[in-house]
Amino acid sequence: MKKLKKNYPLHVMLLPGVVFTLIYAYGPMAGLVMAFQEFEPLSGFFKSDFIGLDNFKYVFQLPDFNQVLWNTVLIAVCKMVLFLLVPLILALLLNEVTKSWFSRFVQSAIFLPFFLSWTVLGGIVIELFSLNGPVNALVSSFGLEPIMFMLDNSWFRTIIIGSDVWKGMGYNMIIMLAAITGINATLYEAAEVDGAGEWKQMIHITLPGIAPIVIVLSVLGLGGVLNAGFEQILIMYNPTVYEGSDIIDTFVYRLGIFSQQFGPAAAVGLFKSVISLALVSATYYAAYKYNNYRIF
């Protein structure tokens, strides 16, 4: 009883956070019932009619749905692989730089786009790849016809993947670089005494040394396999390239907010959330088993 009284302020402190989480995190979770309803905004969650799995049946037979699913997985997997490979290569190369001012300067330049919004970066990318933009000037200088990058499905998808890697690669690079710096220097000295060259040192010391962090990063990345980059695609795409770049999130946005088909849109959202939850739980469990990684 005495303890309860002493801890009373702690519960009071948690109250605002609990209230906001209840309304804006658990509220929408409960609101997922609308995936099983003929949802009418005016009737709300409680008075709309339940229609079982009709919303799911409806969206799964939409002609675009398979393409959307395929785009999502394709774009997300490409991004995931590149988000490991590119930072790894950059971190290994940066580690070989002996002038620290140069290394710091390169890191700063690579990390900068990470902090900017997709409005700014999307605006820049669209300008760079526009018909009379610098990239097409380069194309013309080789005597080729200018390319409509933003209107061609496969070019556009490549640009989506490439520009996201451009924005985000600094983050993993810095984590990996920190891991490389953390490797015990005596290991390298011992290897040198044993006559191992720099290449062998990288294969046998550096790579095994950062393997745990690379595995954790890749395992955690797997959980995001259905997140292909909503804000990026929303700001950069146009109806001509829907076929190659429409992903689950943009599809849900158009279906729900533009077409006002709330039930079916929520059904797609629920489908995505459930698969993501399964993937995230499995991967966190794997990360925990492998490397004792815990978030709490």
Partner 1 sequence: MRSRVSLSRKLFNVSNALFLTGVTLLGIVPFLHLLSISLSSNTAAMAGEVKLWPVGFSWDAYIYLGEKVEFFRSLWVSLERVVLGTIVNMLLVFLTAYPLAKSNEQFGSRTVYVWFFAVTMFFGGGLIPTYIVVVKTGLIDSIWALILPGALSVWNVILMLNFFRSIPKELEEAATIDGAGHWTILWKVFLPVSLPSIATIGLFTIVGHWNAWFDGILYLNSPDKYPLQTYLSTLIMSMNSMMTSVSVEQLKVLENLSEKTLRTAQIFMGALPIMLVYPFLQKYFVRGMTVGSVKE
Q: Please identify, using beta-carbon distances, which residue of 66 and 119 lies nearer to partner 1.
A: 119
Q: Please identify, using beta-carbon distances, which residue of 142 and 296 lies nearer to partner 1.
A: 296
**CA torsion through residues 126, 129, 133, 134, sign:** positive
HSE, CB side, 13 Å, CA atoms: give it for residue 4: 1
Q: How far is the CB of 164 from partner 1 (least distance, A)?
A: 14
Is residue 144 a contact point for partner 1 (CB under 8 A)? no
Q: How far is the CB of 137 from partner 1 (least distance, A)?
A: 6
175 contacts: CB under 8 Å, gap ≥ 6: 87, 213, 217
Q: Please identify, using beta-carbon distances, which residue of 3 and 142 lies nearer to partner 1.
A: 3
Q: By rule CB under 8 A, what count of residues binds partner 1?
A: 100
220 class by beta-carbon count within 10 Å (0-12 exposed, 13-18 middle, 19+ buried): middle
Is residue 292 a contact point for partner 1 (CB under 8 A)? yes
Q: Fill in the per-residue mask, 171 to 200: x = in contact with partner 1 (CB under 8 A), - = not in contact.
A: x--xx--x-------------------x--
Is residue 50 a contact point for partner 1 (CB under 8 A)? no
Q: Identify any residues that bridge with 38 across adjacent strands, giving them in sequence order.
A: 49
Q: How far is the CB of 80 from partner 1 (least distance, A)?
A: 19
Q: Please identify, using beta-carbon distances, which residue of 61 and 141 lies nearer to partner 1.
A: 141
Q: Stretches 39-47, 49-57, 67-75, 203-211: which one binds partner 1 (CB under 8 A)?
A: 39-47
Q: Fill in the per-residue mask, 75 to 104: x = in contact with partner 1 (CB under 8 A), - = not in contact.
A: ---------------x--xx-xxx---x--
Is residue 269 a contact point for partner 1 (CB under 8 A)? yes
Region 207-266 residues binding partner 1, contact defined as CB under 8 A? 230-231, 234-240, 249, 252-253, 256-257, 262, 265-266
Question: At residue 195, what are phi and psi to the nearest 5 degrees?
Answer: 85, 20
- Please give the biggest Cα pair distance in the chain: 84
Task: Decide: helix, strand or coil at residue 49.
Answer: strand
User: Taking Cα atoms as reference points, which of 106, 102, 247, 245 lies closest to residue 169?
Assistant: 106
Q: Please identify, using beta-carbon distances, which residue of 71 and 264 lies nearer to partner 1.
A: 264
Selected from 101, 142, 258, 296, the binder of partner 1 by CB under 8 A is 296
Q: In 9-167, where do the E strands start and end?
A: 37-38, 49-50
Is residue 113 a contact point for partner 1 (CB under 8 A)? yes
Task: Decide: helix, strand or coil at residue 225.
Answer: coil
Q: How far is the CB of 273 from partner 1 (least distance, A)?
A: 6
Region 13-32 residues binding partner 1, contact defined as CB under 8 A? 13-14, 16-18, 20-21, 23-32
HSE, CB side, 13 Å, CA atoms: give it for residue 249: 19
Integer Cα distance of 279 and 222 in angstroms = 7
Q: Please identify, using beta-carbon distances, which residue of 6 and 52 lies nearer to partner 1.
A: 6
CA distances from 245 to 72, 116, 122, 151, 185 (A): 8, 22, 15, 11, 46
Q: How far is the CB of 32 from partner 1 (least distance, A)?
A: 5
